[in-house]
Amino acid sequence: MTIEFSKTIRKVAILNPMTGFKRDEWEIEFRSDPLTGRNTTVIPKLRDYWLRFVKSDYEQLRSLVVESSKKCPFCPDNALTRTPKFLEEEFEEGRLTEGEAVAFPNLIGHADRSAVVVLSRSHYLPLSKFDVNLLFNGLKLGIKILKRWSEIYEHIDFGLLIFNYLPPAGSTIIHPHMQVLGRDRPVTLQKLLIESSFEYTWRNGSSYWRDLINTERELNERYLNEKDGIVWIVPYAPTRGIMEVHGIAYEPLGIFELDDKHILAIADGMSKILLFYENMGVSSFNAAIIPGPLRSKLDYYHINIRVIARPGISRLSFTDSWCLPYLLWDGEAIEEPESLASELKNYFG
Which spans of this chain sit near Zn ion (rule: CB under 5 A)? 72, 74-75, 123, 175
Nearest-angstrom CA–CA distance, 158 and 186: 6
Helix, strand, coil content of the chain in percent (nearest 5): 35, 25, 40
With respect to Zn ion, which residue has the nearer C-beta, 74 or 91? 74
With respect to Zn ion, which residue has the nearer C-beta, 178 or 334? 178
Query: In whole angstroms, how close is the CB of 175 to Zn ion at the nearest point?
Result: 3
Query: How far from chain centre, in Å, is Cα 93?
Result: 30
With respect to Zn ion, which residue has the nearer C-beta, 72 or 282? 72
Nearest-angstrom CA–CA distance, 202 and 208: 10
Nearest-angstrom CA–CA distance, 305 and 288: 6
With respect to Zn ion, which residue has the nearer C-beta, 72 or 181? 72
Query: In whole angstroms, how close is the CB of 69 to Zn ion at the nearest point?
Result: 6
Query: In whole angstroms, how close is the CB of 108 to Zn ion at the nearest point?
Result: 18
Query: In whole angstroms, how close is the CB of 167 to Zn ion at the nearest point?
Result: 14
Nearest-angstrom CA–CA distance, 104 and 94: 7
Is 227 buried (19+), middle (13-18) or exposed (0-12) by CB count in 10 A? middle
Q: How far apart are the first and last CA of the chain?
A: 28
With respect to Zn ion, which residue has the nearer C-beta, 40 or 179? 179
With respect to Zn ion, which residue has the nearer C-beta, 75 or 187? 75
Query: In whole angstroms, how close is the CB of 73 to Zn ion at the nearest point?
Result: 8
Query: In whole angstroms, how close is the CB of 68 to Zn ion at the nearest point?
Result: 7
283 sits in which H/E element: none
Query: In whole angstroms, how close is the CB of 166 to Zn ion at the nearest point?
Result: 13
Nearest-angstrom CA–CA distance, 95 and 119: 14
Helices and strands counted in the chain (H then E): 8, 14
Give the Å distances, CA to CA, from 50 to 55, 233, 246.
9, 22, 21
3-state secondary structure of 205: coil
With respect to Zn ion, which residue has the nearer C-beta, 51 or 119? 119
Q: How do beta strands 304-310 and 284-290 pair?
A: antiparallel
Query: In whole angstroms, how close is the CB of 123 to Zn ion at the nearest point?
Result: 3
CA-nearest of 41, 94, 32, 85 to 240 is: 41
With respect to Zn ion, which residue has the nearer C-beta, 75 or 298? 75
With respect to Zn ion, which residue has the nearer C-beta, 23 or 71? 71
User: Residue 312: how many CB atoms within 10 A of its CB?
Assistant: 23
Question: Which residues lie across from 40 on neighbouring strands?
Answer: 31, 331
Q: Minimal CB distance to Zn ion: which residue?
A: 72
Q: Cβ neighbours of residue 17 under 8 Å, at least 6 residues apart?
A: none
Query: How far from chain centre, in Å, is Cα 156?
Result: 22
Query: In whole angstroms, how close is the CB of 56 to Zn ion at the nearest point?
Result: 18
